[in-house]
């Protein structure tokens, strides 16, 4: 398959890039300024695009590649890919579900504990020498809390399973009530936020879920509530979140994603009730390698005429 041209449009694991380069004729289109020249010179031969959560083909790029057959994304989220244009053009799309579910769910529980028990702040307290001056203040327990989950898909369900291990009550909101779920369903995000201590955002990013966490939801969660976002930054109205934290209208937040990554509101840096992570939900060697192999396996299946492993379109 070394003669098949593949365009890479986002940063991926070095292992994946190396394997793509071994197996295909790989073109580097990560830098948009370089991508234009690559497309101009090689559009007629490019049959696949490899994307990720940080970048994917928009309608213009898809339209500019007449031979494009498949977009394989090194991520679960595909909000950077114009899915409608792919459907219109008959371009197949794959992503990497399942293999990162446990990793993201594990990190979610870690974020909850870090916020409630002030783990990061306690670490700084010891390192600064302040412990010699007196004990750190009391924090808040996680066990027994009510955890609300926005989006009870693979990751949301995995978070719920782990939270049950802490004797937490679980409730959720999704577009439709899940008849086979044992958890309490609320018909709106505001009602969910009003009835939980910790609200976990784990839904896909769509036009309907853009800024689904707004002022009303944040106020419903309240001054003792904690927001955990491991979905996408654009799920949250970030200025509203910042003001709520600064004004004490929200108890705390654990954030792995932000609206304009890698830019993070500087007002959050000095808050001890906020834990900030650089979008590392699936960032372990084991999981990223599994994701890379799934990208490779989907491409191989497509070009060998076999069924795709994780088809989205």
Over residues 190-211, the pLDDT tens digits come to 999 999 999 999 999 999 999 9
Tens digits of residue pLDDT in 213-267: 999 999 999 999 999 999 999 999 999 999 999 999 999 999 999 999 999 999 9
Tell me: cis bond preceding 262? Omega within 30 of 0 counts.
Answer: yes
- Spatial distance between the Cα atoms of 23 and 1, rounded to a whole number of angstroms: 6
Q: Which residues of the chain have pLDDT under 70?
A: none
Q: Is 69 a catalytic residue?
A: no
Q: Is 279 a catalytic residue?
A: yes
| Candidates 232, 235, 288, 302; catalytic one | 232
| Candidates 89, 117, 162, 279; catalytic one | 279
pLDDT at 1: 78
Contact 252, 199 (CB under 8 A): no
Q: Is 288 a catalytic residue?
A: no
Closest CA to 81 of 50, 110, 111, 115: 50
- Spatial distance between the Cα atoms of 166 and 163, rounded to a whole number of angstroms: 5
- Spatial distance between the Cα atoms of 292 and 309, rounded to a whole number of angstroms: 13
Closest CA to 268 of 304, 236, 222, 306: 236
Q: Which residues of 236-273 are buried (b: 16+ CB within 10 A; e: fewer)?
A: bbbebbbebbeeebbbbbbbbbbbeeeebbeebeeeeb
Contact 28, 22 (CB under 8 A): no
Contact 230, 100 (CB under 8 A): no
HSE at residue 238, side-chain half, CA atoms within 13 A, is 16
Cβ-based neighbours of 259, under 8 Å, separated by 6 or more: 233, 234, 236, 238
- Spatial distance between the Cα atoms of 151 and 106, rounded to a whole number of angstroms: 16
For the chain, state the CA radius of gyration.
21
Contact 271, 245 (CB under 8 A): yes
| Candidates 84, 88, 177, 261; catalytic one | 261
pLDDT at 2: 80
């Amino acid at each position: 398959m070394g003669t098949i041209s593949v365009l890479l449009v986002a940063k991926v694991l070095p292992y994946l890039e190396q394997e793509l380069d071994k197996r295909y004729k790989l073109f580097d289109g990560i830098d948009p300024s370089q991508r234009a020249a690559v497309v101009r010179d090689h559009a007629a031969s490019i049959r696949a695009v490899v994307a990720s959560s940080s970048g994917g083909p928009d309608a213009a790029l898809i339209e500019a590649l007449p031979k494009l057959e498949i977009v394989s994304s090194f991520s679960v989220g595909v909000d950077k890919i114009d899915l409608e244009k792919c459907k219109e053009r008959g371009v197949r799309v794959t992503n990497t579900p399942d293999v990162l579910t446990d990793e993201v769910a594990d990190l979610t529980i870690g974020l909850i504990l870090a916020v409630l028990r002030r783990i990061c702040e306690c670490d700084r307290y010891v390192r600064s020498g302040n412990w010699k001056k007196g004990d750190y203040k009391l924090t808040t327990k996680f066990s027994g809390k009510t955890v609300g989950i926005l989006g009870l898909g693979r990751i949301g369900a995995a978070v719920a399973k782990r939270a049950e291990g802490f004797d937490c009550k679980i409730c959720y909101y999704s577009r439709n009530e899940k008849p086979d779920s044992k958890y309490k369903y609320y018909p709106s995000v505001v009602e969910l936020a009003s009835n939980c201590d910790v609200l976990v955002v784990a839904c896909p990013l769509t036009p309907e879920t853009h800024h689904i966490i707004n002022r009303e939801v944040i106020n419903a969660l309240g001054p003792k509530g904690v927001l955990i976002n491991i979905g996408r930054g654009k799920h949250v109205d970030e200025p509203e979140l910042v003001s709520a934290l600064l004004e004490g209208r929200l108890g705390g937040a654990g954030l792995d994603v932000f609206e304009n990554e890698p830019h993070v509101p500087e007002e959050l840096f000095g808050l001890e009730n906020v834990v900030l992570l650089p979008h590392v939900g699936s960032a372990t060697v084991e999981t990223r390698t599994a994701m890379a192999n799934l990208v490779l396996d989907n491409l191989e299946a497509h070009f060998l005429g076999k069924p795709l492993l994780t088809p989205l379109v």
